[in-house]
A and B are shown apart, each in its own frame.
Chain A
């Protein structure tokens, strides 16, 4: 797989509902049924109240950049730079993903982003980040 291309993920038992929602373009996050606290994406128990009763709930899809790195990568269009970001979603959980769209290389701390899904052929939808000031609409299907 070329570095610039997106990888194919296969779903597992812990991610069925996440990817079902992603296919619909909806970001879901784990939420505690007992105290309503939002959870990091891979947790099994509530980090606020220790109950073991989480439900995947629709999230806003909005967040902001905590930190980033720009990786020189000639396979990435248009200017050979892959922008990876660590996002803090509005609800609190963090997500590492790629920042795409125009203005990506102008990434800065606290830049507002939204999550949009793209689906590599044969793989599950991937949540990517787009700067809120970006004018790009992502094609759902990418090579």
Chain B
């Protein structure tokens, strides 16, 4: 029988999530192990059924190639570390799907875990630029005061504001909406109501960003298991089908003519994924978007074509992305309000919604779900299109 035939089409069959947030006393590798065991159990499989492992080790790199044996995985036919920053989750899923479909492995686990929070340290210290390069020309930004993601993303947002008139209040609408969804998510770190006034009054982190423009920081781990559609029909959970995937890494030049802050690689990445799926952006029912900052959500909405270029501000301010709006976005609260597991945040919520397991926050029309992954300073992007339905039906 043809190894690459329809019967080997890949689906997501397992999801495992540790406790997330201020979780201390466990290493990144231990969190990865726990997430993997939870994903395997969720699928109704055993650890010995896993024959492929992809790991994304976050900022602190605590889960390396040797962690697999400690986690209890043996005789793997596929294993590597994947580092595409925030686009990693979508990238891991794509490579796992391709591997399963080729016959290289049958049940592949993709895991993210990280321990950026340390007892006694300020939350903001975690992502202040530790671990970045310390030599040569690439170090100039950090050495002169560009300390981590908020500075660069704030500059990107400022450029968007200068060009399109986007306002801080419009960014605040993204934060308010995320919190409204988080209120219905028992696993969210922040569930209390956030008003626009509270967003505006919160301290400035890097102008124009207030505290609530920035995502949370979390220790924890999330793993997903990918196997063939045929095998998954006998397993414990409703299969989550992969209708399409894409990536875009533009290699944007740091020079005159750059579209930094004005456009992101989401345009090309989503075009690839939607084209593979045979659909348009108008067919998407739910968007799970990487929201390290409110601005990232806004730019991605424009990039994907959910609203016209430059009009992300009015679009989010209209309430479209909040509960009851025309386009549910980040229905678990996103990275802004639920948990920051890089691209596993939007992906996990996409899986939950596709399965119909969203509880109070379940969106009734869940046929096609877009999941974005954003890495670097909007430099690296991945897109998945998920569905509860088999694409061949």
Contact = CB atoms under 8 A, between A and B. Distances in A.
A41 B137 contact: yes
A62 interface: no
Interface residues of A, number: 45
A123 B147 CA distance: 18
Contact of B146 (A47, A70, A84, A127): A84
B142 A94 contact: no
Contacts of A120: 143
Interface string B99-139: 00000000000000000000000000000100000111111
Contacts, number: 121
A8 B154 CA distance: 24
A12 B207 contact: no
A57 interface: no
Nearest to A94: B254
Contacts of B156: 67
Main secondary structure of the interface of B (DSSP, over half): mixed
A119 B388 CA distance: 59
A127 B162 contact: no
A39 B257 CA distance: 12
Interface string B224-260: 0000000000000000000000000000011110101
B276 interface: no
A11 B135 contact: yes
A123 B207 contact: no
Contacts of A6: 143-145
Contacts of B209: 69
Given A47-B253, A67-B261, A42 B155 contact: no
Interface in B141-197: 141-147, 150-152, 154-156, 158-159, 162
Contacts of B159: 66-67, 86
Contact of A70 (B135, B143, B207, B254): B207
A71 B254 contact: no
Among B203, B209, B258, which residue has the most Cβ atoms of chain A within 10 A? B258
A68 B145 contact: no
Contact of B140 (A3, A9, A39, A69): A9
Contacts of B260: 86
Among A86, A98, A109, which residue has the most Cβ atoms of chain B within 10 A? A86
A7 B143 contact: yes
B255 A8 contact: no
A84 B155 contact: yes
Contacts of A66: 159
Interface string A65-100: 011111111000000001011101000111111100
Among A4, A12, A128, which residue has the most Cβ atoms of chain B within 10 A? A12
Contact of B144 (A12, A72, A126): A126
Contacts of B154: 69
Contacts of A12: 135-136
A127 B140 CA distance: 8
Contacts of B137: 14-15, 18, 41-42
A40 B146 CA distance: 18
B320 interface: no
Contacts of B139: 7, 9
B67 interface: no
Contacts of A96: 140-141, 144, 146, 152, 155
A109 B162 contact: yes
A55 B34 CA distance: 52
A68 B138 contact: no
A43 B155 CA distance: 22
A40 B255 CA distance: 6
Interface string A37-57: 011111100010000000000
Interface string A111-139: 00000000010010011100000000000
B136 to A, nearest CB: 4
B145 A67 contact: no
Interface string B287-326: 0000000000000000000000000000000000000000
Nearest to B207: A70
Nearest to B141: A96
A10 interface: yes
Contacts of A38: 255
Given A47-B253, A69-B206, A95 B140 contact: yes
6 contacts: A9-B139, A10-B135, A47-B253, A47-B255, A94-B254, A126-B140
Interface of B: 128, 134-147, 150-152, 154-156, 158-159, 162, 203-209, 253-256, 258, 260-261
What 7 A-B pairs are tightest by C-beta distance, nearest first?
A7-B143, A69-B154, A12-B136, A67-B159, A92-B256, A96-B141, A70-B207
